[in-house]
Structure 1
């Protein structure tokens, strides 16, 4: 945190950090930073990110949220948001996630892109972004809110790291020469019952559009996307809540499937 960080931003960050540490959801932070101050919300997110890095956490990528037009209309916004992915949020298909790891967990299916080049210079247009992507895999994002009852506005979710909790990467890698992201078809099941479906068009019309947006926003905020990072490009269908014992599988054709199980909560 630098000396220009305002007292409300500091207090909002402390509230969210305390909720994460105590695993007890807190009240929204819009009362501290204002209901419409998106810059303040990202300042809170950045402060929390630096606190985590100082504590030893390692950044491995970014997530894009609010890519669905329906969700944008629900919150009264006209743009996505983004958050930071840390190494300790990362799981592989077939893993078990202790349900207490993420507060108030909800799962959504999306495409994850792995970057092979920095996105810090140039026009950051579709051609450049496409050329920077090494491969894609099917992914699950476990969204989680540190805010009680998911009582969130846009500034609340942005401040709370875009409501990111964990992510799961599938085993099958495909290059962009092998498939077209906007043409994928997704079905997500919980314990064998379909709870969400969609396609590539649900993510800003094309998941690659979302990555272009993110690359430009990240550079504008002074922290551009880097080679080796993972980008979760945004939900292909509605999210769904999960509890201990649930098994979630997303099939994203033609990328393949990714599965994760939610295990019993850790106890002290």
Structure 2
């Protein structure tokens, strides 16, 4: 997949127009039609061109990038949305909350929730060429995470270019307590049980994220490195869902329980 070729194919004024449409949809919480309806040639590279411009607009508003999220890293998620490759987007400081946080359903358009393993880097990673071993050595902390994904695209009718442009469908995140990274712990084998109001609704393990959540860190470092971006020490890396996403409903409580990492919970209010 040629990211540079797609970016060149998408005219600068089109990237600006799409970014502004997403910016307004995020502000107004009113979804828009998929870009790929009118522009079926919008590929991953074009989507990233839009994403970069949208990120610039949000930073100008005071947002701060504190890490990156990988999306569509599990087979179940790729099958659900009819795509065949992972994507990524920035994590903004304003969207991350602590364990037990409450969200109003009205903060989002069409939210869904997923459980995932989150890493915090202790040292920077600059791709391309980052190996899984190098990524493992750069991880300082491991965190149980819940991510709320939300789409500014009507009814989640996304193709890969749409969701990439839409910041990889980011919404918010809730993080549990951090624990030190361990060279002995195989994150592929970390099991997870996901519950809604105490009822088990999904399960998974670290290997459901691209075969190895640490491999997701290396992938992100290498993809971002193509654009001259370094993963910095202290940044969060969200490695992707370990199960098919679950709709976020008012009045519900969602908890993910991980081996070794502990649990993390979020609540949804009716307002």
TM-score by length of 1: 0.92
Mapped pair 1:235 → 2:246: no
Alignment of 1:33-52 (within 5 A): 33-52=39-58
Distance of 2:93 and 2:85 partners within structure 1 = 27
Deviates more, 1:162-171 or 1:23-32: 23-32
User: Could you say which residue in structure 2 is the equivalent of 1:247?
Assistant: 253
Determine which of 134, 137, 148 is the counterpart of 2:154. 148
User: Could you say which residue in structure 1 is the equivalent of 2:141?
Assistant: 135
Distance of 2:172 and 2:212 partners within structure 1 = 23
Deviations, residues 124-143 of structure 1 (Å, cap 9, x unaligned): 11121111110101000100
Determine which of 189, 192, 199 is the counterpart of 1:186. 192
Q: CA deviation at 1:36?
A: 4.5
Q: How many residues align?
A: 262
Alignment of 1:31-180 (within 5 A): 31-73=37-79, 75=81, 77-120=83-126, 123-177=129-183, 179-180=185-186
Alignment of 1:201-240 (within 5 A): 201-240=207-246
Q: CA deviation at 1:23?
A: 1.0
Query: Secondary structure of the equivalent of 2:195?
Result: strand
Which segments of structure 1 move beyond 4 Å, counting only runs of 4 or more? 73-77
Q: CA deviation at 1:200?
A: 1.3
Distance of 2:219 and 2:240 partners within structure 1 = 12
Q: Cα RMSD between the aligned structures?
A: 1.7
**Structure 2: tracts of 5 or more residues without a match:** 1-9
**Structure 1: tracts of 5 or more residues without a match:** none
Distance of 1:75 and 1:264 partners within structure 2 = 27
User: Could you say which residue in structure 2 is the equivalent of 1:28?
Assistant: 34
TM-score by length of 2: 0.91
8 A Cα contact 2:128 2:226, kept in partner: no
